[in-house]
Copies of this chain bind each other. A is one copy, B any other.
Amino acid sequence: MENQALGPPADLDALYHAMSDPTRRAVVEQLVAGPAAVSELAGPLPISLPTFLKHLKVLERSGIVRTEKQGRVRTCHLQPERLGPAEDWFASQRRRMERRLDRLADLAEDLERNPQ
């Protein structure tokens, strides 16, 4: 449930930190459409290339993006399997919360049926 033995340690800190910035989410949304070179990704964005590179490094540290250089072009790919754990933590909390609320509702019903 926690660590699925995929690449680097699936650390939620880095993952959620990576996704907490709109620029970086935009990059991910681009990469969903397919791999892209650094300049293709940076082009439309209103920030300088070096600044973009910092964002890219944050994404790489989080494991959500992998990059490789061929010649002078660095291509960026999304690692879809890293999206799972991020989604899972939220889903897990939500489910636990719902179960609790259900139990609470049951209890309330019992009390109503069988008042003290």
Which residues on the B side are within 8 Å of A45 (C-beta)?
Answer: 2
Name the residue of chain B whose CB is nearest to the CB of A30: B4
Can you list 28 A-B contacts (CB < 8 A)? A1-B22, A1-B46, A2-B22, A2-B45, A3-B22, A4-B26, A6-B29, A7-B29, A10-B22, A12-B20, A13-B22, A15-B20, A16-B16, A17-B17, A19-B89, A20-B20, A25-B89, A32-B97, A32-B100, A33-B100, A34-B100, A78-B97, A83-B90, A83-B93, A84-B94, A87-B90, A87-B94, A90-B90
Residues of A within 8 A of B (CB): 1-4, 6-7, 10, 12-13, 15-17, 19-23, 25-26, 28-29, 32-34, 44-46, 78, 80, 83-84, 86-87, 89-91, 93-94, 96-98, 100-101
Sample of 19 further A-B pairs with CB below 8 A, known A4-B29, A13-B21, A16-B16: A1-B22, A1-B46, A2-B26, A2-B44, A3-B22, A6-B29, A16-B17, A16-B20, A20-B20, A34-B100, A78-B97, A80-B98, A83-B90, A83-B93, A83-B94, A83-B97, A86-B90, A87-B90, A90-B90
